[in-house]
Chain A
């Protein structure tokens, strides 16, 4: 049982290993009828189920390429598997949805086959930072989905919504916060830099990072829970036990729509925008199909469907979307987001982790 919790109970976690099989059984006729096919890795559980139901069948209908979806674990386990398989010339999935840090780590071993922009005409729809490039400018990955981590509050405890991340530092909120426990998933250094140090560029140097950590250490008396397990915080937020913190915008919205007294606020400094990329393993032989798939996913209409059905924030520009204001607000915001400094989690991960752990546990 320890191992199950260990393996990450997260929302994007692997709940769907069994469902992978079940959904494959549901469409064997489609698979047999097509001679072209593509294996696509998607985060197991809610994500994969939603894609299997809302996205992949239409894609097959439109292009004649059958999709075999593969449930992939979050974290870096999938990266390790892809890497080892590629060394042996195999690809457990042709295209996979990868986190930004995993994208960078894969780049360091040339795991990702460079994508051809000419075959991805729809990629011009994307917001620029969703095109992931190798240092030499070749495209390593294309933004698949994004999501926000925002400032969340219990509406019964806080009648007024907070407006700034500075609320985390407010002395009035002593022992009331729930924050993510790890430097690499809370992105609180970026929040601190944006709120107090003039932007995430302040983290370029080690001194800047230490300064941000020092400022962040001031929130410690306010933090009741540093959580790894999302369910623990979500429960406490709903009951008002821990009435403020950082959490996922879409899940909080879903909870509010189901009657829980919670709200998600985009602070004036911006919500934290995290995202996943589509990337092609260099061992894959389905280069053509992969480009067709990624190009298809970059259409504004598909991104709008994802926002409506999966609750993710679109990776294409706002003005191309037919989302209503309310639909857009439920998944995103016009306030400029805080974009995590993924590069730091690759080049300075041990330093950051050490200083962070000393800061919160020391």
Chain B
């Protein structure tokens, strides 16, 4: 059976529903946000429709620049950590017995059912001085005294990586399962060690998947605002935390909208850059 290109309007029918949903639930809210970001903030009141750049002007400062920089850095760090742990893990998983694979996948999927709140509280307990893992280390004689590991950058990184890890595995898993095992076998026959075969055959074959995973985790981590708040110090608060503060507590919607628009633009630019770089390399 050959697919005909759509001829009449009715042929586009199946597209109407998703297009409508996309318009109602994405295009309209996003356009509203862009519009609000130009509104005039009224201190001690709300906002009035206008077209001013004040909200963007306020954002362009060293302070917000640093916060934005940290947010991007954190998201990139989480993405890299997820991929570094995710690839060897998923590779080994895809080579193990079917039963073991199922158990692991079910466990990973069940992490997705946990809310960010629960993950945050669980890690803050695990990292606490009074009830945390350091007590175990003391009992084992590895440490002299229990200590608090939160709030710290490490705590934020750990919890965010934990939260994004299931997504990483779910994206990598199909690609690794479909990877032809004869490729590595050929490398082994030609004398490569398993580690060398992994890095010279498996990793390059997965380049596009890895790039896609990095981008997905990056975007996912960029929106996180609860974990940095629960597990980090104020200098670890992301731009999303400050956006929430403005929107919920200061009722400064125009400024919150301007920051959000800025964040979206910067992340789109970074994703575009990554995709462009990926294509360039492939073209060579």
Contact = CB atoms under 8 A, between A and B. Distances in A.
Contacts of B45: 105, 108-109
Nearest to B120: A232
Contact of B128 (A175, A241, A349): A241
Given A1-B117, A76-B251, A361-B235, A228 B130 contact: no
Interface stretch (A25-33, A302-310, A317-325, A350-358): A350-358
A73 to B, nearest CB: 11
B44 interface: yes
Interface in B6-50: 41, 43-46
B185 interface: no
Contacts of B234: 181, 226, 360-361
A241 B121 CA distance: 14
Interface string A330-362: 000000000000000011111001100110111
Contacts of B203: none
Given A5-B117, A225-B151, A353 B67 contact: no
Contacts of A105: 44-45
Contact of B130 (A104, A224, A239, A360): A239
B252 interface: yes
Interface in A1-30: 1-2, 4-6, 8
Contacts of A104: 44
B115 interface: yes
Contacts of A225: 151
A225 B232 CA distance: 8
Interface string B110-151: 000001110001001000111100000000000000001001
Interface residues of A, number: 41
Contacts of B249: 75, 182, 184-185
Contacts of A76: 251
B218 interface: no
B46 A80 contact: yes
Nearest to B114: A1
B122 to A, nearest CB: 12
B180 interface: no
Given A1-B115, A5-B226, A350-B252, A241 B148 contact: yes
A353 B250 contact: yes
Contacts of A361: 63, 67, 234-235, 237
Interface stretch (B96-104, B164-172, B205-213, B240-248): B240-248
A57 interface: no
A128 B279 CA distance: 72
Contacts of A108: 44-45
B229 interface: yes
Contacts of A162: none
Contacts of A8: 248
A346 B124 contact: no
Contacts of B242: 357
A92 interface: no
B230 interface: yes
Contact of A350 (B124, B128, B250): B250
A357 B245 contact: yes
A240 interface: yes
Contacts of B151: 224-225
Given A224-B151, A347-B43, A361-B67, A2 B250 contact: no
Nearest to B63: A358
B147 to A, nearest CB: 10
30 contacts: A2-B225, A4-B117, A5-B117, A75-B248, A75-B251, A104-B44, A105-B44, A108-B45, A181-B234, A182-B245, A185-B249, A224-B151, A225-B151, A228-B229, A232-B124, A239-B130, A240-B130, A241-B130, A241-B131, A346-B44, A349-B43, A349-B44, A350-B41, A350-B43, A350-B250, A350-B252, A353-B252, A357-B63, A357-B242, A361-B234
Given A350-B252, A361-B234, 11 more contacts: A1-B115, A1-B117, A2-B117, A8-B248, A109-B45, A225-B151, A239-B128, A241-B148, A347-B43, A350-B41, A361-B237
Interface of A: 1-2, 4-6, 8, 75-76, 80, 83, 104-105, 108-109, 175, 181-182, 184-185, 224-226, 228-229, 232, 236, 239-241, 346-350, 353-354, 357-358, 360-362
